[in-house]
Amino acid sequence: MDVLLIGDDARSLELLAFIVRQGHWVPLTAYTLDKALAAQEKSPARLAVVEINSSVADSVALCQALKQKLLAPVIVISPWNDEASQLRLYEAGADDCILRPYSPRILEKKIRVLLRLSGGAPPATLSSLESGLVSLNPERLTVTIRSREPLRLGPLEFRLLYILLSNSGRVIPTNDLIDKVWGYGGEGSRDLLKGLVSRLRSKLEPDSRLPHYIRTVPGVGYSFSPAEDERKEQ
């Protein structure tokens, strides 16, 4: 089981590689996105850990690129402890953020938890889903709207959309979604769910500021509603 490590500091990567080996995983280290993607093509990674020291913007850009290329959770180790920076990283696709300095034991635990959550039932064993003009392909982890090109989803994005589509038209309480997406006893939260919904809307909605696929029900939760889209096509 391989863990992809991307960073701009040799010593930091050495420490990350040591932590990964302590967890009995195989580290794949790289200094750039291109080298990281080339390395994992030969041995697909189950998870990625990013530690960029130059700027928040560089970490955000790398995280966004990774989520477009890898169907794996991403942990970002951040030296920036302000709320705005952390929110930017979550909105860019980070599945977890760890502030530096960090505990190697905590990082190993977080890797193990995310691997467990992302390693449940293989998506290919699930049935395809359709609701209105939206169709979800578990085998390819893609969603298609109308006749547009299929869009790739990250593991948590896929899990959230699968739950919502499976209950199309029903309102799913926030806490239930957190439990189902991150697993009972997992490390999900309302803020993480909000960020995940935002990323999913940016892929699905014509205007993510005025969503009509993934609806927010204030004080309750979220629902998937394709009805408005269907009327527009009639």
Nearest-angstrom CA–CA distance, 29 and 194? 31
C-alpha distances in angstroms, 71 versus 39, 118, 154? 15, 10, 5
Give the number of other Cβ atoms within 10 Å of residue 188's Cβ: 21
Preceding amide of 104 cis, omega within 30: no
pLDDT score for 152: 86
CATH superfamily for domain 2-118: Response regulator (3.40.50.2300)
| Domain locations along the chain | 2-118, 123-233
Q: Taking a C-beta distance cutoff of 8 angstroms, is the pair 228, 212 a contact?
A: yes
Q: Find the distance separating the first CA and the last CA of the chain, reported in whole Å.
A: 48
- Which segments of the chain does DSSP mark as H helices, in order? 10-22, 33-42, 56-69, 83-91, 104-118, 155-166, 174-182, 190-204, 227-233
pLDDT score for 42: 65
Mean pLDDT, consecutive 10-residue stretches, the chain (234 aa), reads 86 94 88 79 79 89 80 86 90 89 93 74 60 83 84 85 88 88 68 92 85 92 74 43
pLDDT score for 13: 92
Q: Do the domains at 2-118 and 123-233 have one common CATH topology?
A: no
Nearest-angstrom CA–CA distance, 62 and 60? 5
pTM over cut 0.75: no
Q: CATH number for 123-233: choose from 1.10.3720.10, 1.20.200.10, 3.40.30.10, 1.10.10.10.
A: 1.10.10.10
Task: Quote the DSSP letter at residue 187.
Answer: S
